[in-house]
Chain A
Amino acid sequence: MWKFFHKLGSPPWFYSIAGAILRWLVPITLFLLIVGYAWGLLFTAPDFRQGNSYRIMYVHVPAAVVALAGYYVMALAGAICIIWNMKMAEIAMRATAPVGALLTLIALVTGGIWGKPTWGAWWVWDARTTSMLILLFLYIGVIVLYEAYEDKSGGSRAAGILALVGTVNIPIIYKSVDWWYSLHQPASITFTGGSAIESSMLYPLLLMITVFYSLFTCCVLANMRVSLIKRESRSSWVRTLVEED
């Protein structure tokens, strides 16, 4: 077990393993993404209330789910990097932040597009939309903070602390925004939530959530490889790797 962790901390080992994983994970993920697209777009019946616009759910919900989970992954990496000062955790944290921010952006934009035919407005200040917007700014804060530090390791640990503070705050923010929203009783807006989702709609959704998790993994690993090779550009393993190439 410990041996595995030590290996995990070794840049050349991680670089080659991540490369091997990406070599098959990226094509599989992209293939499954197309399968999920086709399933969600073409092979499911429309929602009886929302018609065809509900098909946006198959990209919107997975992006939102993984964006939120990604913040916790980032905060976990940040915690490891603060406590054990592990280089690989630093790199993982930096690799996670932009991916999570982009997924949050996808969730916000597709949510807006979905909102227009469903609620009649591109943007509605409801609890979830507002929380996701705040999540985007939490991500941006982490990115901006580590970019502002010239010292990479200090910046990563500072951003790690911020990510941890954010993690404590996300449930509070979510609950408070939820509560705020329930005070401003919405008049004309109806939600699809509450009604149980039918299994013919659930399976493609589960597939898409899996695809987005795997996409997230791919992007994080690929980002980590880039920063590994930049950071270790003076070491011998990079030299042999580049010369073999």
Chain B
Amino acid sequence: MYFESLYEVFFMGGHGTYVWSAYLFTSSVILIMVWLPMARLRRSIKRLASKFKAG
């Protein structure tokens, strides 16, 4: 571990805001990218299931 305290981890010598916001943005886009197709797949399967039951 490079940093000595938790405060240093967040502060990062004044660059903390930049670094953490960049990582936060990347993580949220990645989560959306991974989660969205899975949710869409589940939704389509559900819709198809109800359609097959009805028809």
Contacts and interface: CB of A to CB of B under 8 A. Distances in A.
A245 B40 CA distance: 15
Interface stretch (A154-162, A175-183, A226-234): A226-234
Interface in B3-55: 3, 9, 12-16, 18-19, 21-23, 25-27, 29-30, 32-34, 37-38, 40-41, 44-45, 48-49, 52
B26 A63 contact: yes
A207 B44 CA distance: 35
A131 B32 CA distance: 25
A42 B21 contact: no
Contacts of B14: 51-52, 117
Nearest to B39: A226
B23 A229 contact: no
Given A42-B9, A215-B30, A222-B34, A51 B25 contact: no
Contacts of B12: 51-53, 55
A102 B44 contact: no
A41 B15 contact: no
A70 B40 CA distance: 22
Given A42-B2, A106-B25, A242-B49, A114 B18 contact: yes
Q: Tell me which of B9, B14, B18 has the highest count of chain A C-beta atoms within 10 A of its own C-beta.
A: B18
B18 A226 contact: no
User: Interface residues of A: mostly helix, strand, loop or mixed?
Assistant: helix
Contact of B19 (A43, A45, A52): A52
A124 interface: no
B18 A113 contact: yes
Contacts of B13: 46, 51-52
Contacts of B26: 59, 63, 106, 110
A77 interface: no
B19 A41 contact: yes
A226 B22 CA distance: 30
Interface of A: 26, 30, 33, 37, 41-46, 51-53, 55-56, 59-60, 63, 99, 102, 105-106, 109-110, 113-114, 116-117, 215, 218-219, 222-223, 225-226, 229-230, 233, 238-239, 241-243, 245
Interface of B: 1-3, 9, 12-16, 18-19, 21-23, 25-27, 29-30, 32-34, 37-38, 40-41, 44-45, 48-49, 52
